[in-house]
Amino acid sequence: MNIRALKEFRRRLALNQTTYGLWITLESASLTEFAVALGVDWVVVDAEHGCLDWKEISQHIRAAVRSDTMVLVRIAERDTALAKRALDIGADGIVVPWVETAEQLEEALRDCRYPPQGRRGIGGERATVWGQCLFEHTAEANEHVLVVPIIESFRAVAAVPAMCKVDGAEVFFFGPADLSASAGYRGQWEGPGVAEQILQMKDTMRKAGKHCGLLTTGAENLIARREQGFQMLGLGTDTGLLLRSLHESLKAVGRDRRPATSLDPRDGQAVSDPLPRPPEAMRPERVEVVTAGGCGPVVDLDPGVSMEILVGEFTKVRHLTTGIVTLQPGAALPQHRHPCAEAITVLTGRVEIAVEGRVYRLGPLDNIVIPRWLPHVTCNPDPASITRIHAALAMSPPERELLTRTFSRVEMPADSTGIVGMERVTRFQSAKRTFGVGPGAEFIDHFNAELMPGLEMSGGFGRFQPGGRLPAHVHDFDESICIIDGTATCVVEGRNYSMRGCATTMVPRGRVHYFENRSTTAMDMIWVYAGPMPERIVVDSHCATEAGNPWK
């Protein structure tokens, strides 16, 4: 136990000074040596996540010997055996995850103290100089050992005042990502309301004479957290700092990319810095049009089948028509074909689509794309319920040709994804999700020219968690965005539109815009681009404001 480092840490806190540390997740003890040589106040070795074994943890602890850098070990859970082992190999204290009650905190403190105050067993390991300093170590360990609970669930929020009264609780740490997940915002660092809740808990702790900290996300956040009154600030994780530096260097040579969860570089996406403004060649001559669900022109296609057009000639769109088709129970569109591709996404009910006799049965959020000139039949097989689908055609106005050809009926398997070179089917439940396009957002690519060579349009499904949004961007083509569930905010050059209930925006080529979920529930959209690939040009967010409108 590094008594000198522990005393220095507490001295700084007592003087209301901020301490800085590094979160260790990788095996090499050289990382801790880096931190010690640079004079950081503390290091946390993470034994909850990652692959560190006890030998590697011990090497990290040894790397800080004879220094003023305190080393804590984050154990995997509150467990007497894990706490004893971490302290026996020389840790100055432990970090305990997921502490939710004052009783759990008291248990964690007992795990780390020798009797009679606790239940830590006396071992002849490194902490006691392999049994040579039993009396000396046990005489001072209870007084100096540091136990830091992590507040990372919303159940713990109400218990914070009680935790502050626990004898021996000095410093608390916050886990924003897990707090967000427990509040229903999984995958977000600070979901809606989480940042405010952390600040409120911090104020409660500070009024009770306690100290608190968290990991910071960068230099600006580090300064902001210090000004907010946090006193135990993580500069970052070893992996995070290394990746941040790698991204910066790759950006400098135009090779930066966003990785895929598969770790396969072929699945990654290239990223680039936002442009200060859109290219002048994209200067738009049309404005966006938002059509509320139920307010678009309705066309009767056949008995029992109607289409409400949401993006079409009346919105001055180019090369695209989208809308909601309603099929009454048992209704059908007879065999026909289009001189352009058609995409169908089921919203409610079920649909049966026969393409040259190949029969596909689709449920909610399943999609089928039928290339130009392929004969097909669309029907609602349910005799009692209405089916609603989102339809998109790569032309405006759309055309169709009725046919009377006969095809042999072939029932396609329930998991069929279509025929290569012909129609393509995307099953919602098994579809590949893409993340990283924007914070709190996930996407499914239904169709594009890469998935279906020669296709004239591209599109898919998007889900935005609360707080999720896209960066400000422009396209070199028109687009249709239909909000099929939840509420979205569409921002176009400072003009804000609240959308729900199949409201659809036609954003013309060149208009700076983005979509955001400012609500407390998830939001789903169907997006269709009048271009063969879902390409976008990210621009400075100021361009999406009224003051920063680049086309004024």
387 and 303 housed in the same domain: yes
184 and 320 housed in the same domain: no
Q: Please report which helix (H) or strand (E) contains residue 174, including its range.
A: strand 171-174
383 and 332 housed in the same domain: yes
Rounded Cα–Cα distance for residues 49 and 61 (Å): 18
429 and 514 housed in the same domain: yes
279 and 185 housed in the same domain: no
Tokens of 172: 């608390």
- Are 481 and 504 within 8 A, CB to CB? yes
* CATH code for the domain of 92: 3.20.20.60
164 and 74 housed in the same domain: yes
Measured CA to CA in angstroms, residue 527 lies from 12, 59, 322, 482 at distances of 54, 52, 10, 6
Determine which one of 49, 144, 336, 473 is catalytic: 49
Rounded Cα–Cα distance for residues 195 and 150 (Å): 16
Cβ-based burial of 421 (10 A; exposed 0-12, middle 13-18, buried ≥19): exposed
290 and 215 housed in the same domain: no
Q: How would DSSP label each residue in 307-342?
A: EEEEESGGGT-SS-EEEEEEE-TT-EEEEEE-SS-E
Among residues 185, 216, 239, which one ends one of the domains? 239
Q: Which residues contact 455 (CB under 8 A, 6 or more apart)?
A: 341, 369, 371, 394, 447, 448, 449, 532
Evaluate whether residue 246 is within a structural domain: no
* Short-list 376, 505, 504, 391, CA closest to 446: 391
Among residues 218, 239, 260, which one ends one of the domains? 239
- pLDDT digit string (tens) for 7-33? 999 999 999 999 999 999 999 999 999
Domain span holding position 103:
3-239
From the CB of residue 170, how many other CB atoms can be counted at a distance below 10 Å?
Answer: 16
196 and 299 housed in the same domain: no
Evaluate whether residue 265 is within a structural domain: no
> For the chain, what is the domain count?
2
- Are 539 and 278 within 8 A, CB to CB? yes
* Short-list 543, 517, 396, 499, CA closest to 462: 517
Evaluate whether residue 161 is within a structural domain: yes
- Are 382 and 352 within 8 A, CB to CB? no
122 and 189 housed in the same domain: yes
Evaluate whether residue 261 is within a structural domain: no
328 and 194 housed in the same domain: no
Measured CA to CA in angstroms, residue 145 lies from 138, 160, 232 at distances of 11, 21, 17
Among residues 197, 217, 239, which one ends one of the domains? 239
Per-residue confidence (pLDDT) for residue 410, from 0 to 100: 97
| Residue 234 backbone dihedrals phi, psi, to 5 degrees | -80, 125
Helix orientation angle between 134-144 and 3-14, rounded to the nearest 10 degrees = 20
Q: Please report which helix (H) or strand (E) contains residue 177, including its range.
A: helix 176-182
Dihedral in degrees, nearest 10, Cα atoms 265, 269, 274, 278: 140
The CA-CA-CA angle for residues 177, 182, 188, to 5°, reads 35
* CATH code for the domain of 305: 2.60.120.10
Q: Are strands 232-237 and 19-24 parallel, antiparallel or unpaired?
A: parallel
Evaluate whether residue 349 is within a structural domain: yes
DSSP 175: -
Evaluate whether residue 254 is within a structural domain: no
Q: Which regions in the chain score pLDDT beneath 50?
A: none
49 is catalytic: yes
227 and 284 housed in the same domain: no
422 and 499 housed in the same domain: yes
Cβ-based burial of 40 (10 A; exposed 0-12, middle 13-18, buried ≥19): buried
- Are 367 and 425 within 8 A, CB to CB? yes
**One-letter-per-residue 3-state SS of 507-529:** ECCCCCEEEECCCCCCEEEEEEE
Evaluate whether residue 368 is within a structural domain: yes
- Are 511 and 457 within 8 A, CB to CB? no
Rounded Cα–Cα distance for residues 262 and 264 (Å): 5
DSSP 431: P
Per-residue confidence (pLDDT) for residue 135, from 0 to 100: 94
Beta bridge partners of 529: 458, 479
Per-residue confidence (pLDDT) for residue 458, from 0 to 100: 97
- Are 496 and 545 within 8 A, CB to CB? no
Rounded Cα–Cα distance for residues 336 and 344 (Å): 15
Beta bridge partners of 368: 344, 425
Rounded Cα–Cα distance for residues 403 and 241 (Å): 62
